[in-house]
Chain A
Amino acid sequence: MAARRIPPIQIVNNIRRLRFERGEMTQQELAERIGVTRQTVIAIEASRYSPTLELAFRIAAAFAVPLDEVFQLQPHEHR
């Protein structure tokens, strides 16, 4: 049986907004809270790196919000 073709999707996030809503938390502060480098926070925030499920939950926990408030799926935009 052939696998069903799944339309391409991309993960977008609200990390930047959530940081500013939490007293303008810096990328470095968030990085220290979730145990990664600032470069990784920059890459996630810019949607150039999709974190593992574990790290995604740690980010949500750092903001004290559900996971789907931080990350959402949307159809892939062709550029």
Chain B
Amino acid sequence: MPNLNSTMPLREQHIWASLITTALIWGGYLAATFFMWGERSWGQVVGLLVSAVVLHAIALAAIQIVLAANTREEPKDERDILIECRACRIGYYVLLAGVMMTFTGLLVLSPVPAEVGMGRPLLAAHVLVLCAVLAEVAKEGAQVLLYRMSA
């Protein structure tokens, strides 16, 4: 395994770690929820959601501690901020597209049938969580790509 400390600055390592953590934790949460839709109670879903939020917070804190202990942190400069702005714009478009498709799907094209189980609000909430996760992954993926392109 390559030594990341010698080849990649701390900020890029942090974004990579955050990208992988977001994809794994929230991808796992959404897979567990969607594939067992109707088999879980409201309480179980809320419990899973809280677990995902806590796990994500712990993972991000652990990553921050481990990376900061091994590498000297440098303040953000204008290039970091520009890359973050461009990546945020890409993430915003992904989020906007997801929200528009969610509303179109749920309200106009195919009303959710009654047998969905936990009901339309919970389904809509989870589709929106999926949109938010995709937007975050798109943003962090774009950041990594933009850093590599200008490296």
Cα of A35 to Cα of B77 in the assembled complex, Å: 8
5 shortest interchain CB distances as A-B pairs = A36-B77, A40-B79, A43-B150, A48-B150, A37-B74
Chain B residues within 8 Å of A30, by CB = none
- The answer to whether B79 touches A43 (Cβ under 8 A) is yes
Which of A12-20, A49-57, A62-70 is found at the contact surface with chain B? A49-57
The residue from B11, B80, B149 contacting A48, defined by CB atoms under 8 A apart: B149
A39 interface contact, C-beta 8 A: yes
Q: How far is the CB of B68 from chain A (nearest CB, A)?
A: 16
- Contact A49:B74 (CB < 8 A) given known A37-B9, A37-B80, A39-B9: no
Nearest A residue to B74 via CB reads A37
B78 interface contact, C-beta 8 A: yes
Q: How far is the CB of A45 from chain B (nearest CB, A)?
A: 11
A11 interface contact, C-beta 8 A: no
Number of interface residues of B (CB under 8 A): 11
- The answer to whether B9 touches A55 (Cβ under 8 A) is no
List residues of A whose CB falls within 8 A of some B CB.
35-40, 42-43, 48-49, 51-52, 55
- The answer to whether A51 touches B78 (Cβ under 8 A) is yes
Chain B residues within 8 Å of A35, by CB = 77
- The answer to whether B151 touches A39 (Cβ under 8 A) is yes
Cα of A35 to Cα of B9 in the assembled complex, Å: 16
- The answer to whether A43 touches B151 (Cβ under 8 A) is yes
Cα of A55 to Cα of B81 in the assembled complex, Å: 14
Nearest A residue to B149 via CB reads A48
Using an 8 Å CB-CB cutoff, how does the interface string of B111-151 with A read, 1 for contact, 0 for none?
00000000000000000000000000000000000010111
Q: How far is the CB of A62 from chain B (nearest CB, A)?
A: 14
Chain A residues within 8 Å of B149, by CB = 48
Cα of A79 to Cα of B47 in the assembled complex, Å: 56
> Which of B11, B79, B150, B151 has the most chain A CB atoms closer than 10 A to its own CB?
B79
Q: Knowing that A35-B77, A40-B79, A55-B78 touch, tell me 13 more A-B residue pairs with CB under 8 angstroms.
A: A36-B77, A36-B78, A37-B11, A37-B80, A39-B9, A39-B151, A40-B77, A40-B78, A40-B80, A43-B150, A48-B151, A49-B79, A52-B78
